Chains A and B, each alone.
Chain A
Amino acid sequence: MGYSRFLLKRAGQGILVIWGVVTVVFALRYITPGSPVTFIAPLDASQALKQEIAIEYGLNRPIYVQYIDYVIGLLPPNIDMGQSFAAGTSVSSQVFAALPRSLELAVAATLVAVMLSIPLGVISATNRHEPTDYAATTFSLMGISTPNFWLGLMLTLLLAVQFNIFPTGGMARVGGTPLLFTDAVGSLVSGRPQLMITWLSHIILPAVTLGTYFTALVTRLTRSGMLDELGKTYITALRAKGIPETLVRFRHALKNTLVPIVTVLGLQLGTLIGGAVITLRVFSWPGLRSVLIDAINARQWVILQGCLVVVGAGFVIVNTVVDALYAYLNPEVTV
C-alpha cells in the first residue's frame, strides 16, 4: 500500500469514528434519566411551560428527525452544532472559541514533556546504574505517582500565593481580552516582549503540572527504548565502524526509539485537549474542558455534543498525523 493510500484509509476511518461519536452521544441524550426539557426549564416550571420550551427548541420532534438535522448541520463548511439552550447562542462559536485555549495549553504541556523527557531518558539509558540514571528514574517514579491536581495546588501555593512569581490561574489577558500564543508572538516580533512574558507567566504552571506526568512516562519509555536499541547488533556494528558515539545514540538509536514515543505523545495531546478536568479547574483555565464540564453540570446536551465531536475530531486528526509520522519513521506499517 502506498503512503498516500495509507493516509486516505486512516482519514476514512477517522470520519467513521467521528460519526460514531456523534451517534453515540446523541443516543445517550435520550438514554440518560430526565428529559432535556427538564434541564432547560426552571425547577418549578409548569407542564405548560415545559411544553412551550419543547416546542421552542424542537425537542418535540421525532428523535430521528432531530438526529438527521444535527448530522447534516455538522457537515462542512458550516459546522453548525446548534444553539445553546440557555443562551440561544451558537454552540460552534462557543466551542471553537474555547478550542485554541485548550490546544495551546495541551501543546505547551507536551512541549514541556518532550523537552525534559527525551534528554532525561537518553541520559538515563546511556548512564545505566549510575547516579544520573537513579536520579532520572526516581524523578520518573515521582512524576508518575504524584496526582496532577495535587501538584498543581502545591505549585500554586508555593510559587503564586507564597512567592508571587506566577499568577494563581486563569489565562493571560490584555484588558478583558484573552491573550493567545499567536498574539504573544506577534507582540514579540513587534518588539514588545511584555505580552510574551505575561503569556508565559500564565501558562507555565498549568503546563508544568500537566506535563509532569507525561514527562515521567516518556522518560521511562525513552530509557527502556534506548536500552533496547543500544543492545542491538546494528549499534555494535556502527560502533565497530567508528561512528562517533553521539551519532550512534541520537541519529540511530534515538530515531528508532521515537516510534512508540510519537504514538504516546499523540495520544497524550488528544487526552490533554479534552481531559485533566480537575487539574485545569485548579488553574481556572477556560478551555474546552471547562465548557464540557459546565455543559454536563447544566445538562446542556447540545454543547456537550459539540465538545465531544470536537474532542473526537481532535483525537482523530492527531492520531492521523501520528500515523503519518509513524509511517515515515517506520515505512513497514504502510505495507
Chain B
Amino acid sequence: MSEESPNVDIDRRSFVKLAGAATATASLAGCGSSGDGEGDAEATSTPESDGETAADTEATDESSGESEDSGEFPVTITQGQMPDTLDPHDHRNIPADIVMRQCYEGVISRNRQGQIVEMLATEWRRIEPGRVRFSIREGPTFQQTENQLTPEDVAYTVNRMVKENVGFTSPQAGQLGGVTGAEVVDGERAVDVLSDGLNPIVFAEFAIYCDVVERAWTQDNDSSYVAQNMNGTGPFQLAEYEQNVQVTFDRYEDYWREPAAVSQLTFRSAQQSSARVNQVIAGETDIIVNVPPQSVGRLNESDSVSVNAVGSTRIIYNGMRANADPFSSQSFRQAMNFAVDLDSIITDVLQEFGEQTGQPTLQPFFGYNDEVEPYAHDPAEAERLVEESGHAGVSITLHTPVGRYLKDLQIAQAVAGMIDDLSNVSCEVKQRDFNTLASELTDGDITTGPKFYLIGWGNATFDASQTINPTLTSDGVLTSFQSDQLDSLITEANQAVETEQREQLLQQANAFSHEQAPWIFLNRQFGVYGSTNRVDWQPRNDERIDAYSISPAE
C-alpha cells in the first residue's frame, strides 16, 4: 500500500438534491441494495416520499468524493467475499454489488441519507400508471469503448434484466418487481419503463438496481467475456480481475463528474474476520467490513484505525409459522416476544451493535410506525399468555443459521435460553446450514419449512412494503403468516396513488403485525467497519461502500 502523496489540493464538491421517491425490493440474507448517490446535479426528495416526480426538489449539500488534483491516493478495501462474476446483472449479493457499483451506475441512486438522487438520469417522472420516464444524461462515456451513453443502452439494460428473450436470465429480475420492459422515447433523450399496474415503488427499485451496460459491447461479446470484464460509466475502470480473490480499479479520468480522489482502488478478500482485523491494524488495507464485536477493542487500541458502526437495512427476527401449533396461537406468539429480553441481547450479545425492533419495518423506512414500541421483557406475562394459549408444557426448536448474520447463533441461543427459562415452555436451538434453511423457507410452500427459525431480511428500498410483502403476506416468498387483513392492507398500499394514504396503510400494517406477533422481533443488524485514519470515509446504512466518496484524511 503506498502512502498518500503530499501537497494534495483537495477540491470539495458539493452536490445533491433530493427528489421524491422511495422504496422497493428486498432480499433475504445479503441481497438487495441501493446504489449510492452523490451527484453534482439535481436530485430529488426524501425516503419517505413515493417518488412520483423529481419536481419536489430540495437541495442538500452533501460532501463526498473530495479528490486530489494530482498525486496518488490508492485505497484498499477488504471484504469477506468477492464477486465470482463481473456481470452486473448476474449476482444477488451485496459484496458483489459493492464492487460493481464502483464501475457501473444506475439511472438513479441513493445518497448516504437514503434519499434518491440522480445518476445517469437527470429527471424521472410518472407518465401514467404503469409507465415512468427517465430523461437520460448527456456526457457519460463507457470506459472500455469510450462510446457515449445512449437511451438505447438504458432500455437494453432494463430489458436484459427483466425479459426472457435476451439470451440471459438475470437473478435480479425480481428486484425490478412489476417492471415488464423498457423502450426508447421517440424524439426525446429518454426511456420509458413499463410496469404491470401502478408499481408505486418503481423509482425505489431503480435506485438500487439497474447498473447500465453498453448495449453493443454486451451483445458483441460472449457471456464469459462480460463476466470477466467491465465497461461502465462509473468513477473507476477495471484494471485487473482475479476471480474470487481481487479486483483492482484505476480512476476513470474521463468520468462525467469530477474524477475520484482515489487513484487506485483494490478490493480484496479475507474470509476470516481475524485476518481482516490484522490487515487493517498492520496498515495493509484501508477499510474492512464485518468487524466482529469481540475485535472492536483491538481496533480501538490501535492509533491508526477507527471503528465505524451504522445501522443497516437488515432486520433479524424469529419467524413463527402461524399455521402450525403452538405458533398458530396469537397468545403464544406474543408470549414468545414477552419472554425475550431484547435489551440484554443488544447489550450482552451484540455489545451495543444493534437496535431493538418491535415491528417489521426499520425506523428510517417509509411506513414505519413510531407509535409501536418493542415488546417489553415480562416473563410473568409470557407464562400467563402461554397458559392462555393452551400450549403449556410444549417443547419448541429454534432453527438458526451459523455465521450468516452478526452473532446469529449467539442470539438464537440467548432467545432459546430465555424461552426455556419460562416454567411452561422448553426450547432448544438447532444449527442449520444457511442455504438449506433458506431453500426450505423460500420454496413457496408454507407447510414445509421449520416452525420456528432465525433469519434476517435486508430491505435497501427503505419501504415497509418490501419487508412485509415478502415475509408476512399470504403469497410472500418467505412468509410465515397468513392474514386477510394484512394482505388487504398491503394490496391497498401498493395501489395507493397518494403518498400520505400509502404511508398510513403501511403504518397500520406495521401496528397490526406488532399486535399479531408473527415474529419475535429482534434487532436491527449493524454494519461494523474498521478503517485506517488515512482515509476520510463514512459507512452507509445500505451496506454499500461508495469509493467515490473516499478522500484523504486531513
- Chain A interfacial positions (CB closer than 8 Å to B): 33-34, 38-39, 41-47, 49, 52-53, 56, 83-84, 86-90, 94, 97, 153, 156-157, 160-161, 164, 167-170, 173, 175-178, 281-284, 286, 290-291, 293-294, 297-300
A176 with B442: CB separation less than 8 A: no
Contacts of B289 on A, CB cut-off 8 Å? none
Give 19 new A-B contacts, CB below 8 A, not counting A44-B27, A286-B245: A34-B435, A39-B439, A41-B171, A43-B477, A46-B174, A86-B90, A87-B224, A89-B243, A94-B243, A153-B274, A156-B275, A160-B282, A167-B284, A176-B242, A177-B240, A282-B274, A283-B275, A284-B275, A294-B244
Contacts of A169 on B, CB cut-off 8 Å? 270, 275, 278-279
What distance in Å separates the Cβ of B180 from its nearest Cβ neighbour in chain A? Answer: 14
Contact of B27 (CB < 8 Å), options: A42, A157, A283, A299: A42
| A149 to B443 Cα, complex, angstroms | 38
Q: How large is the interface on B (under 10, 10 to 19, 20 to 34, 35 or more residues)?
A: 35 or more
| A325 to B286 Cα, complex, angstroms | 49
| A153 to B470 Cα, complex, angstroms | 42
B37-51 with Cβ < 8 A to chain A: none
Given contacts A169-B279, A299-B435, contact A44 B169 (CB under 8 A): no
| A97 to B241 Cα, complex, angstroms | 13
Counting CB contacts under 8 A, is B271 at the interface?
yes
| A41 to B29 Cα, complex, angstroms | 13
**Highest count of chain B CB atoms <10 Å: which of A44, A47, A281, A282:** A44
Given contacts A49-B173, A84-B84, A157-B278, contact A284 B271 (CB under 8 A): yes
B277-314 with Cβ < 8 A to chain A: 278-279, 281-282, 284
| A239 to B212 Cα, complex, angstroms | 82
Contacts of B174 on A, CB cut-off 8 Å? 42, 44-46, 49
Contacts of A45 on B, CB cut-off 8 Å? 171, 174, 442
| A260 to B166 Cα, complex, angstroms | 60
A88 with B439: CB separation less than 8 A: no
What distance in Å separates the Cβ of B266 from its nearest Cβ neighbour in chain A? Answer: 7
Given contacts A43-B478, A157-B278, A284-B275, contact A88 B85 (CB under 8 A): yes
B442 with A44: CB separation less than 8 A: yes
Counting CB contacts under 8 A, is B92 at the interface?
yes
Q: Mark B526-552, 1 if CB is under 8 A from A, else 0.
A: 000000000000000000000000000
| A54 to B478 Cα, complex, angstroms | 22
**Highest count of chain B CB atoms <10 Å: which of A56, A89, A97, A168:** A168
**Highest count of chain B CB atoms <10 Å: which of A52, A89, A153, A167:** A89
What distance in Å separates the Cβ of B147 from its nearest Cβ neighbour in chain A? Answer: 24
Contacts of B92 on A, CB cut-off 8 Å? 42-43
Residue of B nearest to A35 (CB): B439
Closest 4 pairs between A and B when the two form their complex, measured CB to CB: A176-B240, A87-B85, A176-B248, A44-B477
Contacts of B227 on A, CB cut-off 8 Å? 87-89
Contacts of B438 on A, CB cut-off 8 Å? 43
Contact of A156 (CB < 8 Å), options: B224, B248, B278, B470: B278
Contact of A88 (CB < 8 Å), options: B29, B223, B270, B278: B223
| A293 to B275 Cα, complex, angstroms | 17
Q: Mark B262-275, 1 if CB is under 8 A from A, else 0.
A: 00001011111011
A89 with B228: CB separation less than 8 A: yes
B245 with A43: CB separation less than 8 A: no
| A83 to B28 Cα, complex, angstroms | 27
B28 with A56: CB separation less than 8 A: no
Given contacts A44-B470, A89-B227, A161-B278, contact A53 B169 (CB under 8 A): yes
A89 with B224: CB separation less than 8 A: yes
B282 with A167: CB separation less than 8 A: yes
What distance in Å separates the Cβ of A238 from its nearest Cβ neighbour in chain B? Answer: 52
B282 with A90: CB separation less than 8 A: no
What distance in Å separates the Cβ of A233 from its nearest Cβ neighbour in chain B? Answer: 54
A43 with B243: CB separation less than 8 A: no
A87 with B284: CB separation less than 8 A: no
Counting CB contacts under 8 A, is B127 at the interface?
no
A284 with B270: CB separation less than 8 A: yes
Contacts of A89 on B, CB cut-off 8 Å? 85, 224, 227-228, 243
A86 with B242: CB separation less than 8 A: no
Counting CB contacts under 8 A, is B436 at the interface?
yes
Contacts of B426 on A, CB cut-off 8 Å? none
Can you list 20 residue pairs at the A/B interface with Cβ under 8 Å? Answer: A39-B439, A42-B171, A42-B172, A43-B438, A52-B169, A87-B90, A87-B224, A88-B227, A160-B278, A164-B282, A169-B270, A170-B268, A170-B270, A176-B240, A282-B275, A283-B275, A284-B272, A286-B244, A286-B246, A286-B269
Given contacts A43-B478, A160-B282, A281-B275, contact A56 B169 (CB under 8 A): yes
Counting CB contacts under 8 A, is B239 at the interface?
yes
| A157 to B282 Cα, complex, angstroms | 10
Residue of A nearest to B25 (CB): A44
| A167 to B282 Cα, complex, angstroms | 8
A161 with B281: CB separation less than 8 A: yes
Counting CB contacts under 8 A, is B444 at the interface?
yes
**Highest count of chain B CB atoms <10 Å: which of A164, A284, A293:** A284
B272 with A281: CB separation less than 8 A: yes
What distance in Å separates the Cβ of A230 from its nearest Cβ neighbour in chain B? Answer: 45
| A157 to B174 Cα, complex, angstroms | 45
Contacts of A164 on B, CB cut-off 8 Å? 282
B90 with A88: CB separation less than 8 A: yes
What distance in Å separates the Cβ of A329 from its nearest Cβ neighbour in chain B? Answer: 40
Q: Mark B74-101, 1 if CB is under 8 A from A, else 0.
A: 0000000000110100111000000000
B395-442 with Cβ < 8 A to chain A: 435-436, 438-439, 442
Residue of B nearest to A294 (CB): B244
| A153 to B268 Cα, complex, angstroms | 19
Contacts of B266 on A, CB cut-off 8 Å? 176
A52 with B171: CB separation less than 8 A: no
Contacts of B245 on A, CB cut-off 8 Å? 286, 290
Given contacts A44-B174, A169-B278, contact A176 B85 (CB under 8 A): no
Given contacts A47-B444, A49-B174, contact A282 B224 (CB under 8 A): no
| A43 to B444 Cα, complex, angstroms | 10
Counting CB contacts under 8 A, is B164 at the interface?
yes
Counting CB contacts under 8 A, is B31 at the interface?
yes
What distance in Å separates the Cβ of B277 from its nearest Cβ neighbour in chain A? Answer: 9
Contacts of A167 on B, CB cut-off 8 Å? 282, 284
Residue of B nearest to A157 (CB): B278
| A39 to B85 Cα, complex, angstroms | 16
| A157 to B301 Cα, complex, angstroms | 14
Contacts of A38 on B, CB cut-off 8 Å? 435, 439, 443
| A62 to B451 Cα, complex, angstroms | 34
**Highest count of chain A CB atoms <10 Å: which of B31, B174, B275, B284:** B275
B164 with A52: CB separation less than 8 A: yes
| A153 to B273 Cα, complex, angstroms | 12
| A238 to B29 Cα, complex, angstroms | 71
Residue of A nearest to B443 (CB): A38
Contacts of B274 on A, CB cut-off 8 Å? 153, 282
| A141 to B228 Cα, complex, angstroms | 48
Contacts of B477 on A, CB cut-off 8 Å? 43-44
| A46 to B470 Cα, complex, angstroms | 12
Contacts of B268 on A, CB cut-off 8 Å? 170, 284
B240 with A175: CB separation less than 8 A: yes
**Highest count of chain B CB atoms <10 Å: which of A43, A84, A86, A178:** A43
Contacts of A170 on B, CB cut-off 8 Å? 268, 270, 284
| A83 to B84 Cα, complex, angstroms | 12
A87 with B272: CB separation less than 8 A: no
| A170 to B279 Cα, complex, angstroms | 10
What distance in Å separates the Cβ of A194 from its nearest Cβ neighbour in chain B? Answer: 16
What distance in Å separates the Cβ of A206 from its nearest Cβ neighbour in chain B? Answer: 11
B207-235 with Cβ < 8 A to chain A: 223-224, 227-228
B244 with A290: CB separation less than 8 A: yes
